[in-house]
């Protein structure tokens, strides 16, 4: 009996907290179905962020919520789009689809955004280009990127450079990809740009340069807070695998 009480006590306490603070009712089902694990998840998703505050804690909470219900944001975005079919809501749906790797859906939504007063919107042009890149439609992506570049400084950001680099590489224009990759790697926060540059160097047969780049990525990765390493690990591994495959 004591064991049963101890096993369910965390879930009972978490359930009381969820009810008193008006948390989503789905938590109660999780706490009932998986009392031990559910209470632990609830602690990291709801209680710990309250205790810690700040960006790191919010990142932990978002990560847990995504793990529990990865399609929640997409469902909400599609409902909002159906109720109010604005460009803002369509962009939200596109972003949610992209987060899930549903690039066909993301591209479809973004394509419908590039019209009228939004035909030269830099955010939409870059987002659509990135979706086209993910689908391997590099010629169409270059058209969007050239339209972005024609706007001036809006097309000279690190993220735009990364999109240009990936497009040039996808089109086989390898010599043109190096400069924008290098530019992006020095300016885009996070590890993605640097990792993609290392992968490009490895594929181009520049193993020594790739090893130097990978060492820098490893150094930066070691300084990232453990709760936020999941995404960074993806890019670190991408660079490492590309270098290993190119040797």
Structural domain boundaries enclosing 51? 2-68
- Whether 129 and 135 have beta carbons less than 8 Å apart is answered as no
Question: pLDDT tens, 161-204?
Answer: 999 999 999 999 999 999 999 999 999 999 999 999 999 999 99
Q: Please report the pLDDT score of residue 21 as a whole number.
A: 54
Q: Is residue 134 part of a domain?
A: no
87 in any annotated domain: no
CB 221 within 8 Å of CB 232? yes
* Total of domains in the chain: 2
> Is 168:176 a contact under the CB 8 Å cutoff?
yes
Q: At a CB cut-off of 8 Å and minimum separation 6, what does 218 contact?
A: 236
Asked if the structure places residue 22 within a domain, the reply is yes
pLDDT value of residue 5: 42
Work out the pLDDT band at 49, boundaries 50, 70, 90.
low
The helix (H) or strand (E) run that includes residue 11 is: helix 2-20
End residue of a domain, out of 53, 68, 83: 68
Where among 12, 35, 68 does a domain terminate? Answer: 68
Mean pLDDT of 137-147: 97
Comparison of pLDDT for 9 and 206, the residue scoring more: 206
Single pTM value for the model: 0.74
- Do residues 247 and 206 lie in contact, with contact meaning Cβ atoms separated by under 8 Å? no
Determine, yes or no, domain membership for 232. yes
Task: Choose the final residue of a domain: 68, 101, 125.
Answer: 68
Asked whether 148 and 126 are in contact (CB, 8 A), the reply is yes
**105, part of any domain:** no
Question: What pLDDT does residue 6 have?
Answer: 40
Is 51 within a domain? yes
Q: Is 239 inside any structural domain?
A: yes
Residue-level pLDDT at 23: 53
Give a yes or no: residue 148 inside a domain: no
How far apart are the C-alpha atoms of 17 and 21, rounded to whole Å? 6
Round to whole Å and give the CA distance between 105 and 193.
24
**Structural contact between residues 113 and 91, judged by C-beta atoms closer than 8 angstroms:** yes
CA distance 202 to 246: 5
What is the C-alpha separation between 61 and 36, in angstroms, rounded?
18
């Amino acid at each position: 009996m004591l064991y049963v009480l101890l096993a369910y006590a965390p879930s009972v306490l978490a359930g009381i907290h969820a009810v008193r603070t008006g948390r989503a009712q789905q938590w109660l089902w999780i706490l009932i179905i998986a009392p031990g694990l559910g209470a632990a998840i609830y602690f990291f998703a709801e209680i710990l962020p309250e205790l810690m505050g700040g960006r790191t804690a919010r990142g932990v909470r978002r990560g847990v919520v995504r793990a529990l219900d990865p399609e929640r944001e997409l469902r909400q975005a599609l409902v909002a789009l159906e109720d109010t079919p604005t460009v803002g809501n369509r962009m939200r749906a596109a972003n949610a689809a992209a987060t899930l790797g549903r690039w066909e859906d993301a591209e479809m939504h973004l394509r419908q955004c590039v019209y009228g007063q939004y035909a030269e919107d830099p955010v939409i042009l870059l987002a659509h280009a990135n979706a086209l890149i993910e689908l391997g439609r590099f010629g169409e992506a270059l058209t969007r990127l050239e339209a972005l570049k024609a706007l001036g400084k809006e097309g000279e950001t690190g993220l735009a450079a990364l999109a240009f680099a990936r497009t040039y590489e996808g089109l086989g224009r390898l010599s043109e990809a190096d400069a924008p990759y290098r530019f992006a790697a020095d300016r885009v926060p996070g590890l993605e740009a640097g990792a993609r540059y290392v992968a490009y160097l490895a594929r181009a047969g520049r193993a020594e340069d790739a090893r130097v780049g990978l060492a820098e990525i490893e150094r930066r990765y070691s300084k990232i807070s453990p709760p936020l390493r999941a995404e960074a690990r993806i890019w670190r591994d991408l660079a490492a695998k590309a270098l290993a495959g190119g040797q």
